[in-house]
Amino acid sequence: MQADVSTLMATNLLASLTMAGVMVVVGWGMRREGLQLWAGALAVHAAGYLLLALRGQIDESLSILAGNALLSLALSLLLAAVLRFYETSARWVVLLAPPVLLFAALAMQLDNYGARVAISGAMYAAQAAAIVMALFLRRGETVGRGARLVMVGMGIEVCIMALRAAGGAMNTRASEQLLQAGAIQTATFLGTFVMLLVTSLGFIFMTKERADEANRLLAAFDALTGVANRRSIIAALDRDVGRAIRTRTPLALMMIDLDHFKRVNDNHGHLAGDAVLRSLVEVLGQRIRSQDIVGRYGGEEFLIVLPETTLLGARRLAAELCKAVAAHTFVYEGRQIALTVSIGVFGGLLEPGDSWDVLIHAADSALYDAKHAGRNRVEETPILPRASRDGTHPETFPASLS
Ligand SMILES: Nc1nc2c(ncn2[C@@H]2O[C@H](COP(=O)(O)OP(=O)(O)OP(=O)(O)O)[C@@H](O)[C@H]2O)c(=O)[nH]1
């Protein structure tokens, strides 16, 4: 298939401008994501294509040198946009080197079409490969499919430009000119068209995935301490209650509350209180198993859900946590703050119909007992208060074989 080169170039020019417009709209107000840089790169790409498409109508050297240098600059700006996305600053010298070098190399080969194709193809392939590499090296930080799309799009560009460079180097069609139809020309411009769409949509997707991830974290985790927030710890408890009933395995729950925490705020300030809450979470996190979940239930109250744990096991762990917190010295701006926690524990086997709120109520009443018994201690609720199944009168059942 050999398509009309001028039409293909006009299509690519239009595609660049359209995607640039889309990026400006999508990236409005998102300055740190690199979308503006990407839009700028596409606009420069369109300008480069315009100069190339005007071959024969404007000064030939302007079309060749400035046109190719702008295409190279566009790839540099795309790399800068990717780096900006990852909050890495691009070295402008490195980014400007390819277009300047390309300009100089092409200037020396103005009369040799084959050499020019080889040089420009090799440069574009190397620049596109640098973008793939930048994304590949940061694949661990990338949340999803957007970066893969950009890599695929740029991979297409690498292949096509390497092919073009090889064709030019072999110089088999030395008499061919830019606007002359040919298989390599068709492949170049169609491939570039696909690259423009796939990479630009991929980059937009990258920013969307990042925003989605930030929203997911905000919705699921407590902003101050980083542990599960009230909503997600209750969801986790609800899920584990269902599993414990199905599998007939014990489940334990701890409600932890800092003692006299108000005094920390009153004596050292609210920021000191915040720092203490963050440190407390670290102290707790160091001692629980990976399947246990810590969540912030309210102000200075934390819940720990302990799947497959008996009351005895939970009580032992709670006593350890109590000791660990009492032994820990919380430090804020050089000031040492001593604190203790009270812990209410529930643990045991559940029965169909048991629900998360009943378990929280049980742990909470044990915590109440711990506070009233003098704080810095663990109390337990071995019995789960249950309404009778016909709803006529409340009764209690032993919940566990601890
Ligand atoms: N710094 C800080 N303080 C908080 C936060 N959430 C709740 N608090 C404070 O935690 C304190 C809780 O006080 P109280 O409910 O009286 O409990 P307490 O002083 O710990 O006393 P006991 O629980 O009875 O031992 C209040 O001063 C709240 O303002 C928070 O996110 N940061």
Q: Give pLDDT tens digits for 86-138.
A: 988 878 898 999 999 999 999 998 888 889 999 999 999 999 999 999 999 98
Ligand 1 pocket check for 261: Cβ under 6 Å: yes
Which ligand 1 atom is the nearest neighbour of the CA of 342? Answer: 25
Q: Give pLDDT tens digits for 177-223.
A: 655 667 778 888 899 999 999 999 999 999 999 888 889 888 999 99
d(CA 198, CA 156): 10
d(CA 381, CA 344): 8
CA of 290 to the centre of ligand 1 (A): 28
Both structure tokens of 174: 């030395």
Ligand 1 pocket check for 355: Cβ under 6 Å: no
Looking at the DSSP bridge assignments, the partners of residue 396 are 385
CA of 257 to the centre of ligand 1 (A): 9
Q: Give pLDDT tens digits for 328-378.
A: 999 999 999 999 999 999 999 999 989 999 999 999 999 999 999 999 999
Closest residue by Cα to atom 4, ligand 1, is 299
Ligand 1 pocket check for 257: Cβ under 6 Å: yes
CA atoms within 13 A on the CB side of 91: 4
In the three-class reduction of DSSP (H, G, I as helix; E, B as strand; rest coil), residue 351 is classed as coil
Ligand 1 pocket check for 274: Cβ under 6 Å: yes
The CB density around residue 353, as the number of other CB atoms within 10 Å, is: 10
d(CA 353, CA 385): 12
Instruction: Map out the domains of the chain with their CATH numbers.
Output: 5-217 (1.20.1070), 230-398 (3.30.70.270)
Going by C-alpha positions, the residue among 361, 401, 353 that lies closest to residue 381 is 361
ipTM for the complex shown: 0.95
Which ligand 1 atom is the nearest neighbour of the CA of 266? Answer: 27
CA atoms within 13 A on the CB side of 171: 8
**Ligand 1 probe mutation, 225, 266, 300, most atoms within 8 A of CB:** 300
Q: Give pLDDT tens digits for 261-275.
A: 999 999 999 999 999
Ligand 1 pocket check for 259: Cβ under 6 Å: yes
Ligand 1 pocket check for 273: Cβ under 6 Å: yes
d(CA 132, CA 65): 26
Both structure tokens of 226: 């980083």
Closest residue by Cα to atom 12, ligand 1, is 262
Closest residue by Cα to atom 16, ligand 1, is 262
d(CA 232, CA 340): 26
List the alpha helices (DSSP H) in 171-250. Answer: 183-220, 230-247
Ligand 1 pocket check for 262: Cβ under 6 Å: yes
Residue 218, C-beta contacts closer than 8 angstroms, at least 6 positions apart = none
Q: What is the DSSP letter of 180?
A: S
Ligand 1 pocket check for 270: Cβ under 6 Å: yes
Categorize the per-residue pLDDT at 1 as very low, low, confident or very high, splitting at 50, 70 and 90: low
In the three-class reduction of DSSP (H, G, I as helix; E, B as strand; rest coil), residue 16 is classed as helix
